[in-house]
Protein backbone atom coordinates (compact mmCIF):
# COMPACT_ATOMS: atom_id res chain seq x y z
CA UNK A 1 0.00 0.00 0.00
CA UNK A 2 1.49 3.30 -1.10
CA UNK A 3 -1.25 5.25 0.71
CA UNK A 4 -1.55 8.77 -0.68
CA UNK A 5 0.97 9.91 -3.26
CA UNK A 6 1.43 13.33 -4.83
CA UNK A 7 3.08 14.41 -8.07
CA UNK A 8 5.26 16.44 -8.43
CA UNK A 9 7.17 16.99 -5.18
CA UNK A 10 8.53 20.40 -6.21
CA UNK A 11 7.66 22.88 -8.92
CA UNK A 12 8.61 26.42 -9.85
CA UNK A 13 6.23 28.41 -12.05
CA UNK A 14 6.26 31.86 -13.54
CA UNK A 15 3.28 34.14 -12.99
CA UNK A 16 0.52 33.28 -15.43
CA UNK A 17 1.63 29.72 -16.12
CA UNK A 18 -0.67 26.79 -15.52
CA UNK A 19 -0.10 23.41 -13.94
CA UNK A 20 -1.88 20.38 -12.51
CA UNK A 21 -1.06 18.61 -9.27
CA UNK A 22 -1.95 14.94 -9.11
CA UNK A 23 -3.06 13.07 -6.00
CA UNK A 24 -3.56 9.32 -5.98
CA UNK A 25 -4.75 7.00 -3.20
CA UNK A 26 -4.91 3.22 -3.14
CA UNK A 27 -7.12 2.80 -0.06
CA UNK A 28 -10.45 2.91 -1.93
CA UNK A 29 -11.43 6.04 0.01
CA UNK A 30 -14.52 7.99 -0.99
CA UNK A 31 -13.43 11.41 0.28
CA UNK A 32 -10.45 13.33 -1.01
CA UNK A 33 -9.18 16.81 -0.14
CA UNK A 34 -6.71 19.46 -1.24
CA UNK A 35 -5.15 21.75 1.37
CA UNK A 36 -2.58 24.49 1.23
CA UNK A 37 -0.19 25.40 4.01
CA UNK A 38 1.59 28.72 4.17
CA UNK A 39 4.68 29.25 6.37
CA UNK A 40 3.90 29.07 10.10
CA UNK A 41 0.22 28.44 9.54
CA UNK A 42 -2.19 25.57 9.73
CA UNK A 43 -3.77 23.86 6.73
CA UNK A 44 -6.57 25.48 4.80
CA UNK A 45 -9.02 23.47 2.71
CA UNK A 46 -9.10 24.42 -0.98
CA UNK A 47 -11.51 21.90 -2.51
CA UNK A 48 -12.80 18.48 -1.62
CA UNK A 49 -14.65 15.56 -3.17
CA UNK A 50 -17.14 13.18 -1.58
CA UNK A 51 -17.00 10.69 -4.43
CA UNK A 52 -16.09 10.03 -8.04
CA UNK A 53 -17.40 12.77 -10.30
CA UNK A 54 -18.15 15.20 -7.45
CA UNK A 55 -16.26 18.24 -6.20
CA UNK A 56 -17.02 21.08 -3.79
CA UNK A 57 -15.40 24.31 -2.62
CA UNK A 58 -13.55 24.57 0.64
CA UNK A 59 -12.34 27.59 2.55
CA UNK A 60 -9.97 29.06 -0.07
CA UNK A 61 -11.09 27.88 -3.55
CA UNK A 62 -10.37 30.99 -5.65
CA UNK A 63 -7.77 30.48 -8.37
CA UNK A 64 -8.00 26.70 -8.28
CA UNK A 65 -10.04 24.05 -10.07
CA UNK A 66 -10.33 20.34 -9.33
CA UNK A 67 -11.52 17.16 -10.97
CA UNK A 68 -12.28 13.65 -9.71
CA UNK A 69 -12.79 11.56 -12.82
CA UNK A 70 -11.58 8.38 -11.12
CA UNK A 71 -12.17 7.41 -7.52
CA UNK A 72 -8.47 7.01 -6.79
CA UNK A 73 -7.33 10.32 -8.31
CA UNK A 74 -7.96 13.95 -7.38
CA UNK A 75 -6.42 16.67 -9.56
CA UNK A 76 -5.78 20.27 -8.54
CA UNK A 77 -5.31 22.79 -11.32
CA UNK A 78 -3.94 26.30 -11.36
CA UNK A 79 -5.02 28.00 -14.58
CA UNK A 80 -3.00 31.20 -14.17
CA UNK A 81 -0.54 30.98 -11.30
CA UNK A 82 0.03 33.98 -9.03
CA UNK A 83 2.77 34.60 -6.42
CA UNK A 84 0.09 34.39 -3.71
CA UNK A 85 -0.29 30.71 -4.61
CA UNK A 86 3.26 29.95 -3.47
CA UNK A 87 2.65 27.35 -0.81
CA UNK A 88 2.91 23.69 0.15
CA UNK A 89 -0.04 21.68 -1.12
CA UNK A 90 -1.24 18.57 0.66
CA UNK A 91 -3.71 16.01 -0.55
CA UNK A 92 -5.61 13.77 1.84
CA UNK A 93 -8.23 11.04 1.73
CA UNK A 94 -10.67 9.46 4.17
CA UNK A 95 -13.23 6.69 4.09
CA UNK A 96 -17.00 6.74 4.42
CA UNK A 97 -16.85 4.56 7.50
CA UNK A 98 -18.08 7.22 9.90
CA UNK A 99 -14.63 8.40 10.85
CA UNK A 100 -12.86 11.62 10.03
CA UNK A 101 -9.40 10.08 9.99
CA UNK A 102 -7.56 11.62 7.09
CA UNK A 103 -4.46 10.19 5.46
CA UNK A 104 -2.14 12.75 3.95
CA UNK A 105 0.31 12.73 1.09
CA UNK A 106 3.89 14.03 1.37
CA UNK A 107 3.06 17.41 -0.15
CA UNK A 108 4.01 19.46 -3.22
CA UNK A 109 6.12 22.56 -2.70
CA UNK A 110 5.11 25.17 -5.28
CA UNK A 111 6.87 28.44 -5.89
CA UNK A 112 5.38 31.05 -8.22
CA UNK A 113 7.81 33.74 -9.33
Partner 1 sequence: DAKTTQPPSMDCAEGRAANLPCNHSTISGNEYVYWYRQIHSQGPQYIIHGLKNNETNEMASLIITEDRKSSTLILPHATLRDTAVYYCIVSLGTGGFKTIFGAGTRLFVKA
At closest approach, how far in Å is the CB of 84 from partner 1? 20
Instruction: Scan residues 37-56 and list those touching partner 1 (CB under 8 A).
Output: 40-45, 48, 50, 56
Q: Is 106 in the site for partner 1 (CB under 8 A)?
A: yes
The C-alpha atoms of residue 99 and residue 62 are separated, in whole angstroms, by 28
The enclosing H or E element of 112 equals strand 108-112
Cis status, amide bond into 50, omega within 30 of 0: no
Q: Is 104 in the site for partner 1 (CB under 8 A)?
A: yes
Q: How far is CA 113 from CA 5, 15, 16, 40, 81, in A?
A: 26, 6, 10, 20, 9
Q: Is 101 in the site for partner 1 (CB under 8 A)?
A: yes
Which residues of this protein are in contact with partner 1, per CB under 8 A?
Answer: 4, 31, 33, 35, 40-45, 48, 50, 56, 58, 88, 90, 92, 94, 98-107, 109
Amino acid sequence: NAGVTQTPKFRVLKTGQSMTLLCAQDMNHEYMYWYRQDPGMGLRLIHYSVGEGTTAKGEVPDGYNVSRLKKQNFLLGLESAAPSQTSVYFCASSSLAGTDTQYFGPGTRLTVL
